[in-house]
């Protein structure tokens, strides 16, 4: 199994996933770009050494439940 390293972590903006919410026009890719660039910059990581990036999300309950990033255009 290849070795894996965790350098840092960061949160993206969050909301309730309403169709007319503040982030409703932002794609998952665009939302992930900002923290990924911040992680790269603050850890002085060279892009050519990164093979994979794993993004995750949780599913809170009730009114906090977000819209799945995969369901967005």
Percent of the chain with pLDDT over 70: 70
What is the pTM assigned to this prediction? Answer: 0.57
Q: What is the pLDDT of residue 53?
A: 82
The stretch 27-40 carries a mean pLDDT of: 86
Q: Which helix (H) or strand (E) holds 2?
A: none
CA neighbor of 13 nearest in space, from 2, 5, 4, 22: 22
């Amino acid at each position: 199994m290849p070795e894996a390293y965790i350098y840092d972590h960061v949160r993206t903006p969050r909301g309730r996933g309403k169709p007319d919410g503040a982030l409703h026009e932002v794609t998952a890719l665009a939302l992930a770009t900002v923290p990924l660039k911040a992680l790269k910059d603050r850890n002085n990581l060279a892009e050519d050494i990164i093979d994979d990036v794993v993004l995750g999300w949780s599913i809170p309950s009730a009114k906090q439940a977000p819209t799945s990033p995969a369901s967005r255009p």
